[in-house]
């Protein structure tokens, strides 16, 4: 299309021509900027944003430069003098720094006063994305884990916060959510229990979260929480008592379990910590049909497993009982020890006494 036909162009053709002219002009300005401002690369490489670079330039020397043309011209110039890989790296660092400034000054979504807007936007966006299968809803669990690990390795998002900043951010967000009754704080006791149980079961089955930690790692995490004063360690003795009373009243956690369920949970916890319960279904001594705990009590009552003289006369020979248990139940492996037998017999006696 010849430029002389410009007066006869209408609608989309007119817009296309205007865009072509603008792009051509941007290319020319960008080349002139490279010659006039050799410091462009240094400015950008030093972390200066494109908007701030625009402000450093004397645009009075150039004609027909709208704000959009100014920005596009600088952007085009930088794309010529800086390799794409380096531009991407600079942009990522710039975005991170801008985000940290917003976070540190408690602006936008980091302002606790805006938590209700954030929640509303998150719910609406999640509903739309879930319906379309877009965003994180279009990713598999493995892909989500990979993204999380990459964020951790790059130190971005919450992974870029110090312990103090992260603690403060979580505390403020949690308190705002509690006051406004959003998130988990909008659930009644029954729903909290149901959702928590489902999430805990899934995490246990997948060995995720605390279920994927060793005893040593759990101990270290608990010690860190204590030092930082988070979770229950943030509460006073009086507040912990109130929380405990509310837990009993609302039948949450172990208080929502029957006696049989608590016993079963205790056995699972013991096994997870490398311990062996005294009572396990199907684990019996073949001749008597007794489970290990009952077999231990039987041995403790036999004369041959008691001292017949001395200061311990009439008391169980705990080491001998432990050896007998190991022979009967563990093929001679040193699983049970005298100390374990002492503790079991003591608890059994106290339980019998009521």
- Three-state SS across 272-303? HCCCCCCCCCCCECCCCCCEHHHHHHHHHHCH
- Residue 94 tokens read as 């710039």
In order, the DSSP letters of 42-109 are HHHHTT--HHHHHHHS-GGGSSS--HHHHHHHHHHHHHHHS-HHHHHHHHHHHHHHHHHHHHHTT-GG
Q: What angle do CA 74, 76, 79 make, to 5 degrees?
A: 110
- Residue 124 tokens read as 């609406």
CA-wise closest residue to 340 among 353, 321, 313 = 321
What pLDDT does 341 receive? 93
Please say if the pLDDT value at position 172 is more than 90.
Answer: no
**pLDDT, tens digit, for every residue of 113-142?**
777 777 777 777 777 877 787 777 788 888
**pLDDT, tens digit, for every residue of 61-96?**
877 668 888 888 898 999 999 888 888 888 888 777
**pLDDT, tens digit, for every residue of 7-65?**
444 445 666 776 777 788 888 888 999 999 999 999 988 878 888 899 999 888 877 66
* pTM of this structure: 0.34
What DSSP character marks residue 306? B
Provide the strand spans (E) within 64-182. none
* Tokens 């279920």, located at residue: 211
User: What ranges do the domains of the chain cover?
Assistant: 3-82, 108-184, 274-353
Query: How many helices (H) does the chain have, and how many strands (E)?
Result: 15, 0
**pLDDT, tens digit, for every residue of 218-265?**
788 788 878 877 777 777 888 888 888 888 887 777 777 777 777 676
* Tokens 């916060």, located at residue: 161
Residues near 166 by beta carbon (within 8 Å), at least 6 away in sequence: 158
What pLDDT does 302 receive? 94
Mean pLDDT of the chain: 80
- Residue 55 tokens read as 């402000």
Q: Which of 4-8, 141-145, 199-203, 307-311 has the lowest mean pLDDT?
A: 4-8
Percentages helix, strand, coil for the chain, rounded to the nearest 5? 75, 0, 25
Instruction: Give the Cβ contact number of residue 295 at 10 Å.
Output: 21
CA 61/CA 33 separation, integer angstroms = 11
pLDDT (average), residues 161-166: 76
- C-alpha 183: how far from its chain's center? 16
Q: What angle do CA 164, 170, 172 make, to 5 degrees?
A: 100
Instruction: Give the Cβ contact number of residue 71 at 10 Å.
Output: 15
Helix 292-301 to helix 338-353 angle, to the nearest 10 degrees? 90
Partnered with residue 291 across adjacent β-strands are 284
What are the φ and ψ backbone dihedral angles of 80, each rounded to 5 degrees?
Answer: -85, -40
CA-wise closest residue to 70 among 61, 338, 261, 247 = 61
Length of the chain: 354
């Amino acid at each position: 299309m010849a430029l002389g036909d410009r007066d006869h162009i209408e609608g989309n053709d007119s817009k296309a021509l205007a865009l072509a002219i603008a792009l051509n002009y941007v290319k020319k300005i960008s080349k002139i900027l490279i010659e006039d401002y050799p410091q462009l690369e240094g400015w950008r490489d030093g972390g200066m944003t494109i908007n701030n670079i625009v402000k450093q330039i004397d645009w009075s020397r150039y004609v027909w430069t709208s704000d959009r043309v100014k920005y596009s011209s600088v952007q085009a110039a930088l794309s010529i003098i800086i390799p794409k890989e380096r531009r991407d790296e600079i942009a990522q660092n710039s975005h991170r720094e801008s985000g940290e400034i917003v976070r540190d000054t408690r602006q936008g979504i980091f302002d606790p006063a805006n938590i209700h807007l954030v929640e509303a936007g998150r719910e609406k966006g999640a509903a739309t994305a879930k319906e379309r299968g877009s965003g994180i809803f279009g990713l598999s669990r493995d892909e989500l884990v990979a993204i999380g690990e990459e964020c951790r390795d790059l130190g971005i998002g919450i992974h870029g916060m110090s312990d103090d900043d992260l603690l403060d951010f979580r505390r403020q967000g949690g308190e705002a959510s509690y006051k406004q009754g959003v998130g988990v704080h909008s659930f009644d006791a029954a729903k909290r229990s149901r959702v928590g149980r489902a999430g805990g079961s899934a995490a246990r089955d997948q060995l995720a979260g605390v279920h994927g930690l060793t005893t040593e790692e759990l101990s270290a995490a608990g010690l860190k929480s204590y030092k930082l004063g988070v979770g229950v360690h943030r509460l006073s003795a009086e507040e912990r008592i109130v929380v405990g009373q509310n837990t009993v009243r609302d039948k949450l956690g172990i208080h929502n379990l029957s006696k049989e369920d608590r016993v079963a949970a205790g056995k699972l916890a013991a096994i997870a910590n490398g311990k062996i319960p005294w009572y396990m279904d199907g684990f019996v001594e073949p001749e008597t049909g007794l489970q290990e705990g009952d077999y231990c009590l039987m041995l403790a009552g036999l004369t041959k497993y008691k001292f017949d003289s001395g200061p311990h006369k009439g008391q169980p020979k705990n080491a001998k009982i432990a050896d007998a248990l190991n022979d009967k139940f563990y093929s001679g492996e040193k699983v049970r020890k005298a100390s374990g037998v002492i503790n079991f017999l003591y608890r059994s006696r106290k339980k019998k006494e009521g």
